[in-house]
Structure formats: structure tokens, C-alpha cells
Amino acid sequence: MFQGSYVALVTPFHEDGSVNIEKLKELCEWHVQNGTDGIVALGTTGESSTMSHEEDDLVVRTVLDTVNGRIPVIAGSGSNSTETALMKSKTYKDLGADGLLVITPYYNKANAKGMYRHFTEIANQVDIPMILYNVPGRTGCALTVDCVEALSHHKNIVGLKEASGNISYVAQVARYVNDDFALFSGNDDMIVPIMSLGGSGVISVFANICPKESHDIVDLCLKGDYQKARELQLKYLDLINALFIEVNPIPVKEAMNMLGMNVGGYRLPLCEMDEKNREILRGKLRILEA
């Protein structure tokens, strides 16, 4: 079972917009050395929506080769096309990914039956662990509680990344957490609340700049020390919020560049931050100097 702080890894770019493979290797090594429990490549933060399939494959292969089994690697293989998601899932399994993160089928959405069939079609044909990804603010569609319950019984579906921000929904799906089905926070500002309801960890944007701090919040929860976990969560809450002052991953990449990590820019339609927001982010980063 996956647990801990998994970084939703950015994809670094050169000035010309191409993937910076050497920087990607450097980031992977840094995470291994600084407490990150696992890496999620090609999540929302990884900008795969503006990358080619060949670039996606290159990123996953590079992360796997660099990590070399030291921590788990989960690959984002979702699509609004079941056929495409299946193709990508098979590719990442063959490359050696430890698991898959599969998003709800955005834009075309699907009814409840179609949503269920989308995930089961992939899980039936790709025999590695799959984590469902619920983020309705991005996709325009959500996994219903009943659909989560039904999917939780599939032997290859091992968890849910929950990023709706709705704690009532979290409480309902938390009823299906067991040894074979885990719950992960997809929101850095909700790590402690979700883990208090049985969560196993976080898939984190914050961990791109604070891997040890993200790990420590989760680890304290896993050990049952919610008081200290809460103190850490609240200590970094303003910084976490600043990482979402504009659409992810714009602020976190900006923060990484401010910290000298040199991960480059974005691909359109994403672009540089508004200057006012940049100064707010710069101010919140000062907590790391304390």
C-alpha cells in the first residue's frame, strides 16, 4: 500500500520550452535525499496536458531510471479518452511504474455508468495498482460516492486522490478505506483533516519546495501525533495558500525559481505570474528562512 508524502513533481523546461532532462534527474535525486516518500510524474503539476506522448514517456522513463527503485514512482496516465488512458497505462506499466494515477474523464464527463466503465476498463487490462483522481474543479466532473464504493472493490484499484476540497465528501468516501483501498489528500491545506479521517498521505504540490516538511506532517499523522501535525500544517498554511494564488503549477514553479532551483517556465496557455502575486509569493517564502 502506498503511503506518505508523494510529490506531484513539476516538469522542468529549458528556455526553448523543451523538457530539461538533466534538471528532472536532479529534482528526483533531491527528493530521494530529502524525505519524499514517493514521486508522482505527469500529474496536474507536471503539465502533461501540454506535452506530447513521446515527452510523457521520456519523463516517466527518466524518473524511473533516476529513482531506481529507492522510492515508489506513480505515473499519471489519465485522459478523457478511455482508449488513450489505457494505452498510456500499458506503456507506463511496461516502463516499470509502481502505480498509476488516473483522472476522471474531463470535458466529455460521462454518466455514472460510463465513469465506472472508464476506470474498470483500464484496471481490468493493466495489472498494477491504480489510484483514482477526483478533482472536479479542474475536470468539470466528479466521482460520486457510490462510484468510489463500487470501484474500491476492484483488486487493481488501490486508492483515491481526493482534491475536491469538500470535507463532507471526504467523510463519505472515507468509509471505504481499508487495507486494500487508501485515501490521499490532493490538497496541501487539508492533509491533517483528511488523514484524521483515515487518509494514508498526500500527493503534494508543497513538497516540490518543502519535501521534508510535507513528509513530517504526514509522518506525524501516521504516528497519531495530530497535535504536532496540526501545528506544522498551520505553520506553513500561508505559504501553501500562496502556491495556489494562481493556477497550479505557475506559483510553485515560480517559487522553485525564486529558491534557485531553475526549473524554467511554462507552456501556453500557462504563463508567468502577475507581478503583484509574485511579490505575495516571495513574501510567504520568507518563512523558509526562519
For residue 100, list its beta bridge partners: 75, 130
- From the candidates 133, 169, 176, 266, give the one annotated as an active-site residue: 133
Contact between residue 173 and residue 217 where contact means Cβ atoms under 8 Å apart: no
Evaluated on CA atoms 212, 217, 218, 220, the torsion sign reads: positive
Contacts of 64 (CB under 8 A, 6+ apart): 73, 95, 96, 97
Longest dimension (CA), the chain: 52
Query: How many CB atoms sit inside 10 A of residue 260's CB?
Result: 6
Q: Is-catalytic flag, 161?
A: yes
133 is catalytic: yes
- Collapsed DSSP state (helix, strand, coil) of residue 40: strand
Location of C-alpha cell 467523510: 171
- CB-based contact 279:266 (threshold 8 Å): no
CA–CA separation, 123 vs 139, rounded Å?
21
> What nine digits make up the cell of 167?
470535507
Measured in degrees and rounded to the nearest 5, phi and psi for residue 38 equal: -170, 165
Task: Give the count of alpha carbons within 13 A of 220, CB side only.
Answer: 17
Catalytically annotated residue among 93, 161, 253, 284: 161
Q: By the 8 A CB rule, do 266 and 16 touch?
A: no
CA 264 to CA 12: how far, in whole Å?
6
- Residues acting as catalytic residues: 133, 161
